[in-house]
Amino acid sequence: MIFFDYLSIVVSVLLLVIAFFAINSKKLINSVLFLSALSMVAVVAFIIMRAPDVAITEAVIGSGLVTALFVFTLLSVKRRELK
């Protein structure tokens, strides 16, 4: 179980670093993509804590559908700016 100890430390550091970038990046689309990456790292954390149901749901919804909704909002706004 030593492997899981090291993995949990790496995952914790990654969670904090990616969340900091997601909050502080200047461009909106970068912030949204970092949020998607944060979801993906959270899936690894769920698997470390033996929660496969939650991991599947977070992988489908958190990093798939929510990112798609953010990107569509930004896309429709971009198109309106060009007009």
Partner 1 sequence: MIQYASIFLFVLGLYGLFINKNVIKLIVSLNVMEIGLFIFIISIGYVGDDALAPIISSTQDLALIYVDPLPQALVLTAIVIGVGTTALALALAKSIYNTYHTFDLDEMEESA
Partner 2 sequence: MKKLFGLLITFALGLVIILALDNTVNFPRFGEVNLSERISGLYLSETNVEEVGSANLVTSIVLGFRTFDTLGEVTVLFISSLGVAFILGGTKQKRLDLKFKPNFMLRVGSNILLVIILITSFYIILHGHLSPGGGFPGGAMIASSVLLLYLADDRFRSNIKGFKVLEGVAGSLFVVIGLLGLVFATAFFANYLPTGIIGNLLSAGIIPILYVLVGLKVGSEIAGIIDNFLTEEEEEIA
* Segment 40 to 69, residues that bind partner 2, using CB under 8 A: 52-53, 55-57, 59-61, 64-65, 68-69
| Long-range contact pairs involving 62-68 (C-beta distance under 8 Å, separation at least 24) | 62/36, 63/36, 63/37, 63/39, 66/35, 66/36, 66/39, 67/32, 67/33, 67/35, 67/36, 67/39
User: Applying CB under 8 A, which residues contact partner 1?
Assistant: 1, 4, 8-9, 11-13, 15-16, 19-20, 22-24, 28, 31-32, 35, 38-39, 42, 45-46, 48-54, 57-58, 61-62, 65-66, 69-70, 73-74, 76-77, 80
